[in-house]
Amino acid sequence: MLFGFIGLGNMGGGLARNLIRAGKDVLVYDLSQEAIEKTLAAGTSGKAAAAVGDLADADVVFTSLPLPSHIEQVMLGPDGLLAAMKTGAAYIDVSTIDPQSARKVSDACEALGIRFLACPLGKNPAAAEKAEEPIFAGGKKETYDELKEILQVVGDPVYYMGEVEASQAFKLISNMMGMTNVAVIAEGIRLGEKAGIAPSLMAELIEETGGKSFQSALRAPWIADGDFAPRFGLDLALKDVRLGCEMAEQWDKDPRLMKVALDYFKAASAAGFGGDDCNAVYKVIE
Q: Which residues participate in catalysis according to the annotation?
A: 171
- The tally of CA atoms less than 13 A away on the side-chain side of residue 136 is 20
Q: Which residues contact 1 (CB under 8 A, 6 or more apart)?
A: 24, 25, 59, 60
- What lies within 8 Å, CB to CB, of 180 at 6+ separation is 241, 257, 258, 260, 261
Instruction: Report which residue type is found at 110.
Output: E
- What span, in angstroms and rounded, lies between the C-alpha atoms of 170 and 244? 10
Residues 6+ apart with CB under 8 A from 248: 254, 255, 258
| CA distance linking residue 172 with residue 68, whole number of Å | 13
User: Could you tell me if 88 and 57 are in contact, meaning their C-beta atoms sit under 8 angstroms apart?
Assistant: no
- Evaluated on CA atoms 20, 24, 110, 143, the torsion sign reads negative
Q: What is the C-alpha to C-alpha distance for residues 39 and 62, in angstroms, rounded to an integer? A: 14
